[in-house]
């Protein structure tokens, strides 16, 4: 936004300069027309004099005025050429600033779009995280119930001593393994008795 404001200020300055130069150009053109009117007025004045006076004064005055006008015209043409050149340069600068402003606006739009997409992805991730947490809590709850059932079943077997506190997983496994071993031994003993 700051870049766009800066570009717009530069464009306004350039356009103001362009208007000033065009105004000066119009003034020079007006002065040129006024000189041409003066020259025409002098021509009309000489026409009203006698033929002899007209010839004498016209030659001197017209030569002098012609030289003056020629010099003024040359100077004004030079100024006009310089101003036209400056106008062309200013128009090029304004076009460049306009292009930069458009490019900056496009870049800002792209950044906003990327920001919106990132926000959308973040919200999706947060939603997925929440779902995962809920699923994890559900699984943890089921696992805890299942573990409690295993502990209850394991320590309800005759001959297994009740736990004295909170059990670790290794202790539960050890108790279960003990039951399995005893049952395996008992079954083996029954088999041996039966075969005899």
* 187 membership: H or E segment, kind and range: helix 169-195
- Highest-pLDDT range among 32-46, 65-79, 93-107, 117-131: 117-131
Percent of the chain at pLDDT > 70 equals: 88
- pTM of this structure: 0.41
121-165 confidence digits (pLDDT tens): 999 999 999 999 999 999 999 988 988 888 877 777 666 666 677
Q: What is the pLDDT of residue 160?
A: 63
Q: What is the pLDDT of residue 168?
A: 81
Q: What is the pLDDT of residue 128?
A: 95
CB 91 within 8 A of CB 18: yes
> What would the two tokens of residue 159 be?
């001959």
Is the confidence at residue 75, as pLDDT, over 80? yes
DSSP 44-99: HHHHHS-HHHHHHHHHHHHHHHHHHHHHHHHHHHHHHHHHHHHHHHHHHHHHHHHH
Mean pLDDT taken over the chain? 84
């Amino acid at each position: 936004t700051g870049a766009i404001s800066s570009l717009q200020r530069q464009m306004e300055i350039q356009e103001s300069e362009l208007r000033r130069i065009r105004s000066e150009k119009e003034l020079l053109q007006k002065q040129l027309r006024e000189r041409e009117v003066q020259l025409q007025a002098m021509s009309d004045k000489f026409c009203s004099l006698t033929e002899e006076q007209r010839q004498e004064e016209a030659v001197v005055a017209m030569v002098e005025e012609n030289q003056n006008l020629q010099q003024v015209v040359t100077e004004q043409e030079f100024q006009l050429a310089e101003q036209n050149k400056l106008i062309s340069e200013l128009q090029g600068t304004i076009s460049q600033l306009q292009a930069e402003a458009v490019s900056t606006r496009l870049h800002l739009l792209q950044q906003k779009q990327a920001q919106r997409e990132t926000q959308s992805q973040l919200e999706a991730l947060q939603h997925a995280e929440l779902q995962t947490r809920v699923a994890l809590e559900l699984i943890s709850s089921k696992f805890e119930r299942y573990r409690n059932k295993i502990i209850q079943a394991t320590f309800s077997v005759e001959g297994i001593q009740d736990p004295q506190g909170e059990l670790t997983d290794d202790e539960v496994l050890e108790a279960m393994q003990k039951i399995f071993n005893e049952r395996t031994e008992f079954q083996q003993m029954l088999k041996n008795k039966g075969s005899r």
